[in-house]
Structure 1
Amino acid sequence: MSDKGAAGTESRSESPTETVAASIQQAALKGGDVPYGGEDTLPPPPTLTAEEEKRLWRKIDVRLVPILTLMYLCSFLDRGNIGNAKLQGLTTQLNLTGNKYNIALTMYYIPYCLFECPANLVLKKIRPSRWLPGITVVWGTVMTLMGLVKNYPQLIGTRICLGVAEAGLFPGVVFYLSLWYPRHMLQYRIGIFFGGATLAGAFSGLLAFGISFMSGTAGLLGWSWIFIIEGLITVVVGAIAFFVVVDFPHTATFLTPEERAWVVHRKKYDNSSVGEEEHFELRHVWETLLDWQVWAHILLLMSIIAPSTGISLFLPSIIHGFGFDVPISQLLTVPPYVFAAATLLVWAVWSDHIKKRWPFVLAGLLYCLVGFAINISDVSFGVKYFGTFLAVAGAYAGFPGVIAWLGNNLAGQYKRGVGMALQIGMGNFGAVIASNIYRSQDAPRYVLGNGLELMFIGIGLIVLPLTVLNYKRINARRDADETGMQLSPEEIRRLGDRAPDFRYTM
C-alpha cells in the first residue's frame, strides 16, 4: 500500500531505487516544497503494505497511548475526587457552608481555562517528553498537599494551583497526537486517551469506597486520604512518564529511520498536497481568533463539557440524594462510567471508519438531552439512575468527537495548536458554570442544575447543524473552483485550511 508521493522500497539497505527516490525528493524541495517534520534528516520513505502499515501504527499506539491515557486518568481523578471527598467529611471539617464548596470547584477551572492556550505554544519548545511528565509530577504534588489543608483559604489556594498545573495536559496531548496520527485516525486515539477520564469516574468511586475505611488513620479523615493517596499515585505516574513519553516522529528512537520517514511523510500529505507550516508567526494567533469554525466548536464543546463536568462533580451527591448511604452511593457511581467508556470506544472506532464526526456529536447531545430530562422530572429514583447512564455516556462519548473534529479541520501546526487550546480553554468555561449550578438546597431533583444543563445541550443542537451546513457549502465551492490550483506551494501552505485543496471533515 503506497501513499501519495511515497518513494523508495521496503529494503533497508541503500539501493538504486532509493537513490532515485532521494533525487526526486531533492528536486521536489527545489521546486517549492520544503522539508516537513524533520524529513530532511531521514531516508526516503518506504512503501508499506497494508499489513506493515497496521503493524507500524500498532507499534506507535503501544508506545504513546497507554502512558498518555494513564496520565489523563490521574488528571481527571485529581480534579474530580473532590466530589467523593465531599461525602467523606470535607465540607464538615473545613466548614464549607453556603456556596463555599461551589467556589472551590470554580477556582480550579478559571486558571485551567486561562493557561491552556499559552501551554500549547510552549509544548514544542520545551519538548513533550519533559513538559507533559513535568506538569504531571507538579499537579500530583499539589494534590497530595491538598490532603493536608486545614481551612477554606488553603483549599482555594491548592485548587488554583491544581488548575494551573493541569492546564497543559489535555490540549497538549491532543495537539501532540495530531503531530503523529493522520486526521482520520485521530478520534480513536483521542477516544482511548479520553477514556481515561471515563474510567477515572469509575475508579474514583471504587477508590473512595476503599479509602473511606482509612478515616481516622494518623488523625486524618477519609477526605484527606483520598487527596493524599491519589496525589501520590499521580506523582509516580509522572515519574514513570519521563522514561516513556517520546517527542516527535522524526526523533522517535523506538522506530527505525525508515519507519520515522514513513510516519512523517504520511502526516505531510495528510491534508495538503504540499505539507503544512511548522514555524510560528503571530498571524497564526490572529487567523485562529478570526476563524468562524473555532468559535462554533467552542460552543459545541461548551454544550458537551458543561454536562460532563456537572455529572462528574455531583454524581455522588445526586445518587446520595436517592436515599442511599455514603458507601453505596460511591459504588453506584461506577456502572454509568463503565457504560460510558464502552460507548466512547465504539463511537470512536465507528467515527474514524466512516471519516465523519458530526453524527456522533449529535448522538452525544441527544443522549444528554434524554438523560438530563429524566433527572429533572419527578420520576422514581430507579428511572433517574437510568438517566444518569445516558447523561454520562452522552457527555463523555461525545467529547472526543468535538475535539477531533476541530483538529481535523485546522491546518498549520501552530494554528492547530492555538485553535485546539483556545477551543478547550474557552469551552471549559462551561465547566466553570457547571461547578456552581448544583446547589445542596435543590436536592434531590436539582431543577436549576439540570435545567441549565439542558440549556447548554440546546445550544449544541442549534450550532451543530449550522456548522455542518457551512462546512458542506465551503467544500462544494472549492470543488467547483479551479482557479486556486494556480497558486504556488508556498502560497498553499500559507493558506492552510483555507487552501483550495483542503476539504473540511464533516
Structure 2
Amino acid sequence: MEKDSEVQIEATGPGGKASNSLTVDDPDAGLSLEEKKLKVKLKKDLHMTNGQWNAGLAIFFVSYSVFEPASNALLKKLRPSLYIPSLMILWGIVTVCQGFVSNFAGLAATRWFLGLFEAGLFPAIADSFGGLLAYCISKLQGVGGKSGWAWIFILEGIATVIIGIISFWMVQDFPDEATFLTAEERFRMYHRLKQDQQASAGLETFKWTYFWANLRNWKMYTSSMFSMGMGAGLYAFSLFLPSILAELGWKATTSQLLSIPPYAVAAVLTVAVGFLADRTKRRGIYTMIVSPLAVIGFAILASDCSARATYAATFLAAMGIYPCLPNGIAWVANNTEGVYKRGVTIGLMMGWSNLQGVVVSNAYRDADKPRFIPGYAVLLWYLGFCLFGGTVLHYIFLRRENALRKAGKRDYLVEGKNDYEIRLMGDESKPRNARTARIVKAREPQQIESRKKVLLLHGSKCPQPVASVLKTVHTLTKPDSVLLNKKNSDIYPFEDPASLEFLAHKNECGVVVFGTHSKKRPNNITVLRTYDGKLLDMMELLLTLPPDQPEKEQKLQIGVEMKPMILFSGSQWDDSSSSEQAALYRTVKSLMLDLFQGEEISSVDVAGLQYLLMIAASETSTGSTDLNDPSNKPVLHLRWYRIKTVRSNNAKIPRVELDQIGPSFDFRVGRLREADPGVMKEAMKHGRRPNEARTKKNIETDLVGDKIGRVHLGKQDLSTLQTRKMKGLKRSRDLDVEDMNGTGSQDDDVSQDEDMVDGGMEIDEDFSDGRSSMGGSGDEISIGEDEDEAMGNSEQNEKPKRQRLS
C-alpha cells in the first residue's frame, strides 16, 4: 500500500495565484481543498490505495444506473407516497452506516447499496450547497472519537431519515388525489395532463411488453444518445468545479460560496427554458440552442487561460448543461404515452446517462498531466457529438414521423383495435391526420357520452342471492352489459377503487356492479359510476333476504331490446329540498336511472311497453333523519311487473293491471361516496349531439306526438271583431249577477259542444271555413296528422271532438 502524505494548503488573496500542492492537474482534481483533506484522512483511516478509492467511487454509478429502470417501474407499482419516502429512509440508513465503516470492503458495500436506493431519484440543487454543508460539518473532527468525514455521513444520513419519515404525509400519489388541491383544481390538473397525453396514470399494470417495445423503438436510442452528453457534462462540472474555483486563490469557505453563482445562473436559465418550451410547445430547439454554450465553456476550461477567465467559463458550462437535463426528460416524456412505457424509457435513458459518470471520473489520468488534453477531448466529444448531435438527430426523426402520420401512412396501426389496445400502444397511436384523429377521438371520453355498457362482476364469495341480482341486472341491460364469471379477489371498492376503474376502462363500461359477501357486510352490492376513466360516485346496497325467499332461483325472462318503464313510487323521490335525506334520494334515483335506462330513444311504441320496474323506498321506523346511523338509511324495494291492458268502460283510457314477475329485491342503503361537485358538473354537461336533428323554430311536439306550431301575426284591427249571437239562450239579469259573483249554478242550458267549439274559440258566421276574425299574435294552430278534421263543417262542430293519438 502506498504511503499518503499530508496535504499542505497555502491560499493567497483573490488577486494572486494559489500555491498549493494539489491543483487541477492532480488526480484528485474532482475534490475541493477541504474535501481533499477529508479524502486523505478517509483513505488513511480505511487503509485504501488510490485504485481502491476510484473503485469505491465508480461502484456507486454501476448500481445507480443498473437499477434506475426497475426503480421507475416500482414507483408506479408501489405508489409514490409509499415508495419515495421508503427509499429516502433506506439510503439515509446506508449513509449513516458509511460513517462507521473501517475498511474498503465496508465502503464498497455501502456505496453499492447507496446507488441501489438512490436509483429512484437524482439531486436537483443539492450540488449548489452540498460542499459548503460538508465543510461546516467537518469541523466536528475528533468529536466522539470520529473523524470529520464520518460525521458528514452520519449527520446527513440522520437528516435524510427524518425527512423521509415526514414525507409519508407530504408526498401525494397523483394530481387527482392531492389533498392540498380543491376538487376543481384536481379535475383541472387531470385534464391538463390528459391534453399532454400524460393521463393514463393509474389505469395500467406492468407488462414486459412495455420493456420490449422500448427496445424496438428508435426514440429509446436517440434519447439515450443525447442523455450521454447530459450525464457526462453534469458529472464533469460537479466534480471539477471546486478545483477550478481553488485556482482563484480563495480560501476554502470562499471557494464554496463562489460555487453558488454558476448554479444560480443555470437555475434561472433552466426555468426560462422550461417556460418558453411550454409556451411554444417546442423543446428540442431550445436544447440545440443552449448546448453549444457547454461546448464553449469546457473548451475555455481546457485552454491555458487566466483563473478569472476560467471562472467565467464555468457560467457558460453550467448554462449549457443544466437546462438540457429537465428539458430533455420532459421532451422524451411528452413523446412517450403509457405510464409504464414512459417510466421504462426514462429509466433506461437516465441509467445510461448516469453510467457516464464512471467514464468521466476515470478520464483524467496522471499520465496526461498537466493539461489533461485526452480527458477534455472525451468530454467535448460527449457534449458536441452526443448532446448536440443526438438532439438534432432526435428532432429530425420526430419531424419525419409526424410527416408520415400526417400523410396517413401510420393509420394501419390503430385500425381494427379497441380502446384498450390503442392505449397499450401509447405514443405509437397518436394521430397526425384527420382520419386517424377521428378514429382515436371516437374512443376517447366525450363531453356527451353515448350509452356505456354495464360491467357486472363478483368477488371471491358470491352466494346465490348476490348471483341472482347480477344475472337479473345483466338480463335487463343486454346487450349493453358484460358479466364476468371469474372470481375477483382482493377488491375493496371503498378502500381502493383502482381495480374496478381499470376493469371498467378496459371493457368500456361506465357503470360497475360489484357483488361480494363477508361476515361484516353480507350480500353486498356496490354500484359505482365512472367518468373519464376515474371514479365518479359510488353507493353500497345491502341485500336483505325476506323470510319467504324461495330456495330455487327466480329468473326474469325479458326479451332483448324490450325497454321496461321505470316508476319511482313515493313522494320522497321528488323532494327538491337541500336536506341530506333528499340529496340521498336524488343520488339513488340518478344511479338507478343510469343503471337501467339504457339507450336514449326518440319515440316509443305504446304496444311495446310490456314491463315495468317499480322502485319504492320505505321510511325509517325511527323517523330520524340522521344518516350516520345505518338504521336510518332507507330501504329500497325493487319489483318487476308485466303490464296487462284490459278493456274498460272508458273509450280513451284502458284499464291496466300489473302482474309481478321475476325475483323481488330489497336493499338497505349502506355507505355512499358522493361525487365532487366540480366533476359532477362537468359530467352532467349537456351539449348538442353531432347527429341530433335541428329543431324548427316555433314548432314543437306535444305528449301524444302531435306537432303544434305557433304563428306570429301582425297587429290586427279589432274594430272589425264580430261575435256570435247566441240564439235561443235567455238569461235573466239575476243569473248574470250570480255568475259574476261566482255563486250561480254551474249547469247552464247550453251544452259544452255548442258553446265551446275548437277549444273555446268562437267562430264568426261570416267565416265558414273556420278562421277566426281575431288573429292575435301567438295563436296556436294544429299542423299534425288531424288537419283533415279542421273546422269548417258546421255539422261536425256540433259533435264532441275526439283527439286522435298518433
Is 1:307 paired with 2:233? Answer: yes
Q: Which amino acid aligns with 1:501?
A: P
For the residues of structure 1 that align with 2:82 and 2:90, how far apart are their CA atoms? Answer: 12
Counterpart among 79, 91, 94 of residue 40 in structure 2? 91
Is 1:115 paired with 2:74? Answer: no
Q: Who is 1:180 aligned against?
A: none
For the residues of structure 2 that align with 1:275 and 1:168, how far apart are their CA atoms? Answer: 18
Over 3 Å counting, the alpha-carbon distance change for 1:368 and 1:429 in structure 2 is: same
Q: Who is 1:102 aligned against?
A: 54
Counterpart among 228, 244, 254 of residue 170 in structure 2? 244
Q: Is residue 137–residue 239 contact of structure 1 (8 Å, CA) maintained in 2?
A: yes
Is 1:470 paired with 2:397? Answer: yes
For the residues of structure 1 that align with 2:391 and 2:423, how far apart are their CA atoms? Answer: 28
Q: Who is 2:221 aligned against?
A: 295
Deviation at 1:319, TM superposition (A): 2.9
| TM alignment of 1:124-139, pairs within 5 A | 124-139=76-91
Which structure features the higher share of helix residues? 1
| TM alignment of 1:136-215, pairs within 5 A | 136-170=88-122, 197=124, 199-215=125-141
Q: Who is 1:481 aligned against?
A: 408
| TM alignment of 1:379-394, pairs within 5 A | 379-394=305-320
Deviation at 1:405, TM superposition (A): 0.8
Deviation at 1:167, TM superposition (A): 0.6
Deviation at 1:230, TM superposition (A): 2.0
Deviation at 1:465, TM superposition (A): 1.5
Deviation at 1:421, TM superposition (A): 0.8
Q: Is residue 271–residue 502 contact of structure 1 (8 Å, CA) maintained in 2?
A: no
Deviation at 1:241, TM superposition (A): 0.7
Deviation at 1:149, TM superposition (A): 2.5
Q: Who is 1:494 aligned against?
A: 424
Over 3 Å counting, the alpha-carbon distance change for 1:216 and 1:334 in structure 2 is: farther
Counterpart among 326, 347, 351 of residue 277 in structure 2? 351
For the residues of structure 1 that align with 2:207 and 2:234, how far apart are their CA atoms? Answer: 35
Deviation at 1:335, TM superposition (A): 2.1
For the residues of structure 2 that align with 1:290 and 1:122, how far apart are their CA atoms? Answer: 22
Deviates more, 1:134-143 or 1:232-241: 232-241
Q: Which amino acid aligns with 2:354?
A: N
Counterpart among 322, 328, 340 of residue 396 in structure 1? 322
Over 3 Å counting, the alpha-carbon distance change for 1:272 and 1:380 in structure 2 is: closer
Q: Who is 2:384 aligned against?
A: 458
| TM alignment of 1:35-50, pairs within 5 A | none
For the residues of structure 2 that align with 1:125 and 1:277, how far apart are their CA atoms? Answer: 11
Deviation at 1:290, TM superposition (A): 1.0
Q: Which runs of 5+ in 2 are unaligned?
A: 1-29, 434-806
Over 3 Å counting, the alpha-carbon distance change for 1:141 and 1:149 in structure 2 is: same
For the residues of structure 1 that align with 2:163 and 2:99, how far apart are their CA atoms? Answer: 19
Deviation at 1:412, TM superposition (A): 1.4
Q: Which amino acid aligns with 2:101?
A: V
Over 3 Å counting, the alpha-carbon distance change for 1:382 and 1:205 in structure 2 is: same
Deviates more, 1:475-484 or 1:401-410: 475-484
Over 3 Å counting, the alpha-carbon distance change for 1:217 and 1:439 in structure 2 is: farther
Q: Who is 1:223 aligned against?
A: 149
Deviation at 1:317, TM superposition (A): 2.9
Look up the SS of the partner of 2:389 in the other structure.
helix
Deviation at 1:406, TM superposition (A): 0.7
Q: Is residue 321–residue 443 contact of structure 1 (8 Å, CA) maintained in 2?
A: no
Over 3 Å counting, the alpha-carbon distance change for 1:465 and 1:376 in structure 2 is: same
Q: Which amino acid aligns with 1:417?
A: G
For the residues of structure 1 that align with 2:42 and 2:200, how far apart are their CA atoms? Answer: 61
Q: TM-score, normalised by structure 2?
A: 0.46
For the residues of structure 1 that align with 2:368 and 2:327, how far apart are their CA atoms? Answer: 32
> How many residues are paired up?
397
For the residues of structure 1 that align with 2:415 and 2:114, how far apart are their CA atoms? Answer: 51
Over 3 Å counting, the alpha-carbon distance change for 1:102 and 1:360 in structure 2 is: farther
Look up the SS of the partner of 2:173 in the other structure.
coil
Q: Is residue 438–residue 449 contact of structure 1 (8 Å, CA) maintained in 2?
A: yes
Q: Is residue 117–residue 425 contact of structure 1 (8 Å, CA) maintained in 2?
A: yes
Q: Is residue 144–residue 227 contact of structure 1 (8 Å, CA) maintained in 2?
A: yes
Q: Is residue 133–residue 238 contact of structure 1 (8 Å, CA) maintained in 2?
A: yes
For the residues of structure 1 that align with 2:321 and 2:153, how far apart are their CA atoms? Answer: 25
Question: What per-residue deviation string (whole Å, max 9, x for no partner) do you get for residues 161-185 of structure 1?
Answer: 1101101224xxxxxxxxxxxxxxx
Question: What per-residue deviation string (whole Å, max 9, x for no partner) do you get for residues 258-278 of structure 1?
Answer: 544443344345339999972
Which structure features the higher share of strand residues? 2
Q: Who is 1:406 aligned against?
A: 332
For the residues of structure 2 that align with 1:455 and 1:139, how far apart are their CA atoms? Answer: 34
Look up the SS of the partner of 2:322 in the other structure.
helix
For the residues of structure 2 that align with 1:443 and 1:326, how far apart are their CA atoms? Answer: 24
Deviates more, 1:136-145 or 1:147-156: 147-156
Look up the SS of the partner of 1:350 in the other structure.
helix
Deviation at 1:298, TM superposition (A): 0.7
For the residues of structure 2 that align with 1:165 and 1:119, how far apart are their CA atoms? Answer: 9
For the residues of structure 2 that align with 1:500 and 1:253, how far apart are their CA atoms? Answer: 32
Over 3 Å counting, the alpha-carbon distance change for 1:333 and 1:250 in structure 2 is: closer
Is 1:421 paired with 2:351? Answer: no
For the residues of structure 1 that align with 2:113 and 2:308, how far apart are their CA atoms? Answer: 39
For the residues of structure 1 that align with 2:407 and 2:249, how far apart are their CA atoms? Answer: 62
Deviation at 1:383, TM superposition (A): 0.9
For the residues of structure 2 that align with 1:348 and 1:474, how far apart are their CA atoms? Answer: 24
For the residues of structure 2 that align with 1:359 and 1:213, how far apart are their CA atoms? Answer: 47
Computing the radius of gyration over CA atoms, which structure comes out larger, 1 or 2?
Answer: 2
For the residues of structure 2 that align with 1:84 and 1:137, how far apart are their CA atoms? Answer: 31
Over 3 Å counting, the alpha-carbon distance change for 1:274 and 1:211 in structure 2 is: closer
Q: Is residue 31–residue 240 contact of structure 2 (8 Å, CA) maintained in 1?
A: no
Over 3 Å counting, the alpha-carbon distance change for 1:154 and 1:393 in structure 2 is: farther
Q: Is residue 406–residue 432 contact of structure 2 (8 Å, CA) maintained in 1?
A: no
Over 3 Å counting, the alpha-carbon distance change for 1:169 and 1:299 in structure 2 is: same
Look up the SS of the partner of 2:50 in the other structure.
coil
Look up the SS of the partner of 1:87 in the other structure.
helix
Over 3 Å counting, the alpha-carbon distance change for 1:116 and 1:458 in structure 2 is: same
For the residues of structure 2 that align with 1:148 and 1:339, how far apart are their CA atoms? Answer: 38
Q: Which amino acid aligns with 2:79?
A: R
Q: Is residue 88–residue 222 contact of structure 1 (8 Å, CA) maintained in 2?
A: no
Q: Who is 2:25 aligned against?
A: none
Look up the SS of the partner of 2:424 in the other structure.
helix
Question: What per-residue deviation string (whole Å, max 9, x for no partner) do you get for residues 421-464 of structure 1?
Answer: 11111222112212222346756644333221101012222222
Q: Is residue 72–residue 344 contact of structure 2 (8 Å, CA) maintained in 1?
A: yes
Q: Is residue 205–residue 334 contact of structure 1 (8 Å, CA) maintained in 2?
A: no
For the residues of structure 2 that align with 1:329 and 1:232, how far apart are their CA atoms? Answer: 27
Greater RCO, CA 8 A, separation 6+: 1
For the residues of structure 2 that align with 1:93 and 1:481, how far apart are their CA atoms? Answer: 63
Q: Which amino acid aligns with 1:252?
A: A
